[in-house]
Amino acid sequence: MDLLLPPLFPDLLLDLLSMALLIGGVFLGISGAVGVIRFPDFYTRVHAAGVTDTLSAGMILAGLMLQAGFTLVTVKLAFILLFLWLTSPVASHALARAATHTGAKPVTATSGEPSSSN
Q: Which of 7, 44, 66, 70 touches other proteins by CB under 8 A?
A: 44
Does residue 66 interact with other proteins by CB under 8 A?
A: no
What Å distances lie between residue 36 and 27, 83, 106, CA to CA?
14, 23, 15
Does residue 13 interact with other proteins by CB under 8 A?
A: no
Q: Which run of H or E residues covers position 60?
A: helix 57-68
Q: How far apart are CA 21 and CA 64, in angstroms?
A: 9
**According to CB under 8 A, which residues from 72 to 101 bind other proteins?**
72-73, 75-77, 79-80, 83-85, 87-101
Does residue 11 interact with other proteins by CB under 8 A?
A: no
Q: Which of 1, 36, 62, 70 touches other proteins by CB under 8 A?
A: 36
Does residue 60 interact with other proteins by CB under 8 A?
A: yes
Q: How far apart are CA 116 and CA 32, in angstroms?
A: 33
Does residue 116 interact with other proteins by CB under 8 A?
A: yes
Q: How far is the CB of 69 from other proteins (least distance, A)?
A: 12
The number of CA neighbours under 13 Å toward the Cβ of 77 is: 18
